[in-house]
Amino acid sequence: MYDYLIVGSGLFGAVFAHEAKKAGRSVLVIERRENVGGNIYCEEMEGINVHKYGAHIFHTSYKDVWEYVNQFVEFNNYVNSPVANYKGELYNLPFNMNTFAKLWGIVTPDEAAAKIAEQRTAIKGEPQNLEEQAISLVGTDIYTKLIKGYTEKQWGRSCTELPAFIIKRLPVRYTFDNNYFNDRYQGIPVGGYNKLIDALLDGIEVRTGVDYNECRAEYEGMAKKVVYTGPVDAYFDYKLGQLEYRGLRFETERLEEVNHQGVAVMNYTEREVPYTRVIEHKHFEFGTQPVTYVTKEYPADWQPGEEAYYPVNNERNQNLYQQYAELAAKEEKVIFGGRLAEYKYYDMDDVIKSALACAGRELQ
């Protein structure tokens, strides 16, 4: 009998498995997909790591998590500096002095701040919808060119029909700094994310192509405890109803070009272009291959059975999740962890932190 059966080989499962093995426990990992790694899995195409389930950039301010991952793999010095494409006009993101200089031909931070202050006054009184909220925070030009179309594609609705509370803050930087993240540490594993997962799972028995919820009888009794990182509603056979997700659709193309767009992430901020982003994967790792792979990312409605990307944290889903969480708490021999089991958006560093904390409690 194993000490732990770990359901799912994403970051949560892999970190827990690694820690359990290190603590001398026996572990078996089962994974529904044919490959390990969960959402950070990459498919290698002609030497380019294609981020199969969406572009992933590792960034953290937790020193302990940074040191933890660096034990397994070296990180390169990639800094995420996406570019917005609005009808062929290119703007640096996040909103910073480079963006403002291009938008208005201004030179100093004071001039940029004055422009924004002047345009914010277009909204008088309490903002009634997302459009008014965004304009009241950053003014009309940034809203029109860089926020409106992108947000409308993401939500499938016009900004005037979306509630104001969706956008609470829109950070603007009065420096010439295109680094998207504010975190202390950032990068992509040298050789790709699979290296990180493979190192975490080194020496651990893994069975792929096994869905726990479909062959539970077979695995029941195989381990003293289960660490379950799949969807919490699926564990309970959806008996209280299904939790909803936002979907994404990816279209990947091989291009006979060395360099297609000159940046890893280009956001398309006009509504008329149906995708929100184009990812050129080789730039995450400074690739010099003679070809390139690009992925168009389309927001999509989610249907049960499809890949679950982002939880929809509205009242219905939060209430339903709470009820499932109560059932989960009664399962004494099962630990529920990770983004699907906790129905929560987790960045990679947070999920690692959470798995380490869970292992710390469990493996004393």
Ligand X SMILES: Cc1cc2nc3c(=O)[nH]c(=O)nc-3n(C[C@H](O)[C@H](O)[C@H](O)COP(=O)(O)OP(=O)(O)OC[C@H]3O[C@@H](n4cnc5c(N)ncnc54)[C@H](O)[C@@H]3O)c2cc1C
Residue ranges binding ligand X (CB under 6 A): 7-13, 30-33, 38-40, 54, 56-58, 211-213, 229-230, 248, 309-310, 338-340, 346-349, 351
Answer positive or negative: Cα dihedral of 327, 328, 330, 334.
positive
> Toward ligand X, which CB reaches closer, 52 or 173?
52
Residue 117 Cβ vs ligand X, minimum distance, rounded to whole Å: 33
Cα gap 13→16, rounded to integer Å: 5
> Toward ligand X, which CB reaches closer, 139 or 338?
338
Give catalytic status of residue 277 as yes or no.
yes
Q: Which of 73, 46, 69, 79 shows the shortest CA–CA distance to 283?
A: 79
Residue 310 Cβ vs ligand X, minimum distance, rounded to whole Å: 6
Q: Which of 2, 152, 233, 277 is catalytic?
A: 277
Q: Which of 297, 342, 349, 362 is catalytic?
A: 297
Q: Which of 4, 19, 53, 173 is catalytic?
A: 173
Name residue, tokens 């800094």. Answer: 79
Q: Which of 181, 184, 195 shows the shortest CA–CA distance to 71?
A: 195
Give catalytic status of residue 34 as yes or no.
no
User: Which two three-digit tokens encode residue 123?
Assistant: 């909204």
Give catalytic status of residue 120 as yes or no.
no
> Toward ligand X, which CB reaches closer, 141 or 347?
347
Q: Which of 32, 33, 120, 246 is catalytic?
A: 246
Residue 138 Cβ vs ligand X, minimum distance, rounded to whole Å: 23
Cα gap 144→269, rounded to integer Å: 9
> Toward ligand X, which CB reaches closer, 8 or 94?
8
Residue 152 one-letter amino acid? E
**What's the distance, CA 146 to chain centroid?**
21
Q: Which of 3, 183, 198, 347 is catalytic?
A: 347
Residue 341 Cβ vs ligand X, minimum distance, rounded to whole Å: 8
Q: What are phi and psi of 265, to 5 degrees?
A: -125, 120
Interhelix angle 109-120/130-138, rounded to 10 degrees, is 150
Going by their DSSP bridges, the two strands 223-228 and 334-336 should be labelled as: parallel
Residue 129 Cβ vs ligand X, minimum distance, rounded to whole Å: 27
Give catalytic status of residue 345 as yes or no.
yes
CB 339 within 8 A of CB 355: no
Give catalytic status of residue 3 as yes or no.
no
Number of H helices, E strands in the chain: 12, 16
Q: What are the DSSP calls for 166-181, one per residue?
A: G-------SSS---S-
> Toward ligand X, which CB reaches closer, 2 or 12?
12
Residue 174 Cβ vs ligand X, minimum distance, rounded to whole Å: 25
> Toward ligand X, which CB reaches closer, 59 or 145?
59
Catalytically active residues, by annotation:
169, 173, 246, 277, 297, 345, 347
